Structure 1
Amino acid sequence: MVSMKKNLVLVVCFLFFFQWAHAQAPGCAFTNPLIPSGADPYSTYYKGYYYYTNSVGGDRIILKKTKSLADLKNAETKTIWMPPPNTMHSKELWAPEIHHIDGKWYAYYAADNGDNNHHRMYVLENVSEDPFEGEWEFKGKLATPSDKWAIDGDVFRYKGQLYMIWSGWEGDENGEQDIYIAKMKNPYTLDGERVRISKPTFDWERQWKGGPEVYVNEGPQFLQHGDDLFIVYSASGCWTDHYSLGLLRLQGDNLLNAGHWKKYPLPILATSKENGVYSPGHNSFFKSPDGTEDWILYHANSHPGDGCGGKRSPRMQRMSWNTDGTPHIGTPVSTQEQLQVPSGTK
């Protein structure tokens, strides 16, 4: 009997060690940040690969291709667009996104001529199966008839209709950034006038000290879970340590009716001094390769006061869902914490 107990203990210890070793093996665990620098991270999963992009330098759009976002540092990288000089979209290229829509690839980004007052949304198209191949064609500016300042566009299809959401000014001066939505005729044309569905109203959305007196809602992202549709957005000045994520929820059937969007009173992701993560924001979402897990991509700083510059780095962590159907992200994880790679990663 004593011998059997000893053997059982040895088996248990072996299994524990095997599981621990497997978790520590290369490719099975990772830590944040994914790469040292990269604001406004976005990815699209298509036929076994994640196609990832983030803001870089303001003069180009880059694309990364990888089977595992946890291994982003080793991803194949390519510059897919450098705008021609001396145009209204030659400089300050911000927050690019890449989408696969109706069999074609589209890259959405904000740009201007070097004067932030002229920022607008623009779109490229690529008809190749692989966005690393073929040519990216400039399709033009995405604007509603009012043609106001616009950045941080995101595109989503809901019940057969394409929509774009973005951050914009109500007038022609920079005093507040709000969230707007419009229908799309096709992936490169807006349809009708914009509708404002969110503006900074809570104290945590109106933190600006240390920078210009501007209240901010920006970086909106659609998120659908079952029959529920959400918009997750960034709030407060990115130059502050108060930059964080807020939540809107559709509570009607008309996305263009501001009254059908409920805003939650508290942020769903915010600075964690305990974990050494500051100003988490400008996020996007993705599923694990096998489709069983939901994950969030976001950028953050590792020290207070790092602001809006090149110290922002992309991070990711698994998320879940609350009993009321809302997304649960929790606290931004420490750079010291080892995380399991998304399920189905090869």
Structure 2
Amino acid sequence: MNKIFKLIILLLCFAVTGFAQTNTDKTFTNPLLPSGADPWVIYKDGYYYYTNSAGNRLVIWKTKSVARLSSAEKKTIWVPPAGTSYSKELWAPELHFLKDKWYMYFAADDGNNNNHRIYVLENSSADPTKGDWTFKGKVGDETNKWAIDVSVFENNGQLYMLWAGWEGDENGQQNIYIAKMKDPLTIDGPRVKISTPTYDWEKYGDLGAKSNPPHVNVNEGPEILKHKNKLFLVYSASGCWTDYYALGMLTASKNSDLLNPASWTKSPQPVFKEAPANSVYAPGHNSFFKSPDGTEDWILYHANSQPGQGCGNERSPRMQKFSWNKDGSPNFGVPLKAGIAMDGPSEKNK
């Protein structure tokens, strides 16, 4: 009897341990990685493919769950050749699956920020961590002006490109531009400016200058979020080197003329900003994704854990679930504190 009792206790211990491990696998804490600015993720065929700015190369992480990103398979897919106009400062890569092929868009230069332009790679493999990535060159409009933070999206059968750019050839203000695309490699027609910094919270340029924003004006990192009959363009505002880097939002009807600036309405206040009480500073340059079962909406962004950390390697990727307001607009809440265990994206139907 004593041996049977001990066996029962042992089995119960195994059961409890297994249950605890299951719970651990389904929870996560921010940040997802120690470092990683400009995070982007896309879901296809049961896997999430993640990337962020790596500076001198392009890297993809592959995982069944974004909550387990730190243990994901990781692969460098491309290192630029030295001595070219796209050899250095590879920023804000985005991975898209368009017309049965993978495309990796990114900004790069020759070491001089004034020369940043947008470039693209192509891969026909079903899995972007496999097959061959081919450099397809520069993607830009006829002005050939400074450009970073590219994103592409489809609406009503038309492909569009978004990016942050300068009006002229000198730095001073970053605007958000949109243009139609003929195909994933070609812009078709002129660029149109749809957002420029207008509010004080879009103009912070010096740490601590909150009461009197200086002349540095930044709109960058545009990302599209679709919901019902609306398009929400969520962008980053103010200098990334300040604690006040935050997310703003433009709203348009999906059936409007997206090349008409009047179709876009800017929210007067940031929709996601620093939370000093939670030790989260400069949250920005986000992307969006759904849970594996499609029932939840999540925002993925980078942020700092201490004030004054700026645009360096201290920026780390974080994620949190968000909801929708009664008017159909997104409610991102406030950036959540690091180190707090949270339920990961729902996988109940998987």
Q: Do they superpose with TM above 0.5?
A: yes
Match of 2:42 in 1: 44
Aligned length in residues: 326
TM-score by length of 1: 0.92
How far, CA to CA, are the matches of 1:29 and 1:76 in structure 2? Answer: 19
1:296-307 equivalences under 5 Å are 296-307=299-310
Contact 1:287-1:294 within 8 A present in 2 as well: yes
Q: 2:90 aligns with which of 93, 96, 100?
A: 93
Q: CA deviation at 1:214?
A: 2.2
How far, CA to CA, are the matches of 2:39 and 2:167 in structure 1? Answer: 26
Match of 1:278 in 2: 281
Contact 1:22-1:28 within 8 A present in 2 as well: no
How far, CA to CA, are the matches of 1:54 and 1:29 in structure 2? Answer: 22
Matched, 1:154 2:151: yes
Contact 2:242-2:310 within 8 A present in 1 as well: yes
- The list of structure 1 runs, each at least 4 consecutive aligned residues, that deviate by more than 4 angstroms after superposition, is 21-24, 210-213
Match of 1:7 in 2: none
Name whichever of 247-256 and 235-244 sits farther off.
247-256
Match of 2:8 in 1: none
Letter in 2 for 1:190: I
Between the aligned residues of both structures, percent identity stands at 60
How far, CA to CA, are the matches of 2:341 and 2:265 in structure 1? Answer: 35
Match of 1:217 in 2: 219
Matched, 1:138 2:140: no
1:194-213 equivalences under 5 Å are 194-210=191-207, 213=215
SS of 2:25's equivalent in the other structure is coil
Match of 2:61 in 1: 64
Change (3 A) 1:24 1:237: farther
Any idea what the Cα deviations from partners look like across 1:204-251, whole Å, max 9, x if unmatched? 001001499521000000110111111000000000010000000014
Structure 2: gaps spanning 5 or more residues: 1-15
Letter in 2 for 1:283: N
SS of 1:174's equivalent in the other structure is coil
How far, CA to CA, are the matches of 2:74 and 2:137 in structure 1? Answer: 25
Q: 1:328 aligns with which of 328, 331, 343?
A: 331
Letter in 2 for 1:134: G
Any idea what the Cα deviations from partners look like across 1:43-73, whole Å, max 9, x if unmatched? 11000000000001x1100000000101100
Match of 2:250 in 1: 248
Any idea what the Cα deviations from partners look like across 1:152-192, whole Å, max 9, x if unmatched? 00000000000000000000000000000000000011111
Name whichever of 42-51 and 249-258 sits farther off.
249-258
Q: 1:84 aligns with which of 81, 84, 95?
A: 81
Contact 1:254-1:260 within 8 A present in 2 as well: yes
How far, CA to CA, are the matches of 1:59 and 1:238 in structure 2? Answer: 20
Letter in 2 for 1:88: S
Matched, 1:343 2:343: no
SS of 2:126's equivalent in the other structure is coil
Match of 1:11 in 2: none
